[in-house]
Amino acid sequence: MPDIPKWRDPLIYLDNNATTPMLPEVKDAIGFILEEGFGNPSSVYQIGNQARVALEKSRGIVARALGALPTEITFTGSGTESDNMALFGATFPYFHKGKNMVISNIEHPAVDLTADWLESFGIECRKAPVLIENDMVLKTPFLDMVDDQTVLVSCMLANNETGLLLPVAELFDEFHARGILCHTDAVQAFGKSRVQVADLNCDLLSISAHKIHGPKGVGALYIKRGTPFNALIHGGAQENSRRPGTENVAGIVGLAAAVERIGEKEDHIRGLRDDFESKLVKFFAEKTIIHHKELPRTPNTSSVGFPGKDGNMLLIQLDQKGICASTGSACHSGALSTNSTLLKMGVPEHIAKGTLRFSFSRLSEVSQVNEVIEVLRKIV
Ligand code: PLP
């Protein structure tokens, strides 16, 4: 075992959009495979077959949860990898042919930076601004950006910073009618809101295990049957040659165990989030802004602006009390950066800089809400 420094468990963990603790059932499932099932799923003898059965049963569970076919699910090493595979896989045939792709301007870096990278292969990347009018995300900036050279649109289903749900299904209906492939990054939506591939009308969809109480380093990409797809990784026939490499069977079984439990505590999570926000309004009145409160959003996320305050400082003060929250993007929690989605959506800098994200999970408790409110009353 590496010499890992000991760390103190946080007293209150409200950063579940960054990652989630594994559920006991997930740990049991992973432990079982680690103990009993070391076989390579490609081997023909019995322990290989057992691993293959575990793998395929897990594929069935993930497929059912998304309303997909098992053959449409490819296991990957993360949500980031799923996004990379989707964008590369769909645009590869069009490299240096004058084609373009359209993404929203609030995508996670897994999509945003991959799209930038694809520009070096001659795929122009256009970023549609996410604009709100009458409590709705406007579709027109996306529709105006696609043309007859657009080969792919990628639009996230739920934003990691505010939980905002984008009108992906409506957008994709329009783009499909024009023969454009459609990808959605559902990493933050899956397990929190209903995610069914048929409703979304998508060709490609990414999920990640560690956002739903599964293990880190496991994801999946839905690739609709018949969608032209080119592999990013080469070297074997695993995952139908779409993602070669001996499969992470324990991690995949852990993902499936987590998927089996999604949706179980949605009312509890929503209730905590609503309770937290109503207490914020009560105690801070006009001194706080709850971003995207009136818009469709995931039930677990509160993005709270304390105008004029320094979010990084607040975060450190919360940490001193054993409370974990975040300022900006999930994967940047440690980086203490300015909240970029909010800035891109026109939130003034003095509010964006003073914004904290609290993200709840099925393991969060009412007493934690009250304690965080008390601490905030002292430090803000
Ligand atoms: N997409 C979104 C919207 C995310 O929030 C994240 C992680 O925060 C990712 C992709 C990346 O997922 P992973 O951490 O599994 O690479």
Distance (angstroms) between ligand 1 centre and the Cα of 46 equals 36
Q: Which residues line ligand 1 (CB under 6 A)?
A: 78-80, 83, 108, 110, 156, 160, 185, 187-188, 208, 210, 219, 330-331
In this structure, are residues 169 and 67 in contact, taking their beta carbons and an 8 Å threshold?
no
Q: What is the pLDDT of residues 98-153, one digit of tens each?
A: 999 999 999 999 999 999 999 999 999 999 999 999 999 999 999 999 999 999 99
pTM here is 0.96
Residues 68 and 160 in one domain: yes
Residues 290 and 235 in one domain: no
Residues 184 and 255 in one domain: yes
Residue 194 has pLDDT above 90, yes or no: yes
Task: Give the mutation target among 211, 301, 329, 339 for probing the ligand 1 site: most ligand atoms within 8 A of CB.
Answer: 211
75 vs 71: CA distance, rounded Å: 11
* 5 in a structural domain: no
Query: Is 324 designated active site?
Result: no
Domain boundary (205, 236, 259) is at 259
Residues 187 and 325 in one domain: no
Report pLDDT for 331: 41
Distance (angstroms) between ligand 1 centre and the Cα of 207 equals 8
Report pLDDT for 328: 64
Which of 125, 155, 202, 331 is an active site residue? 331
Q: Which domain holds residue 57?
A: 24-259
* 95 in a structural domain: yes
Q: What is the DSSP string of 182-206?
A: EEEE-TTTBTTB---HHHHT-SEEE
Distance (angstroms) between ligand 1 centre and the Cα of 265 equals 22
Residue 335 has pLDDT above 60, yes or no: no
3-state class (DSSP) for residue 100 = strand
Report pLDDT for 142: 97
CATH number assigned to the domain comprising residue 310: 3.90.1150.10
The pLDDT mean for the chain works out to: 94
Count the domains in the chain.
2
Domain boundary (214, 238, 259) is at 259
Q: What is the pLDDT of residues 222-280, one digit of tens each?
A: 999 999 999 999 999 999 999 999 999 999 999 999 999 999 999 999 999 999 999 99
The total of other beta-carbon atoms located within 10 Å of residue 108's CB is 24
Residues 322 and 341 in one domain: yes
Residues 255 and 267 in one domain: no
Calculate the CA 311 to chain-centre distance.
23
Q: Where are the beta strands (DSSP E) in 73-178?
A: 73-76, 100-104, 124-128, 132-133, 136-137, 150-154
Domain boundary (259, 282, 306) is at 259
Residues 210 and 238 in one domain: yes
- Helix axes of 109-118 and 79-91: crossing angle, nearest 10 degrees: 30
Average pLDDT value for residue range 314-323: 95
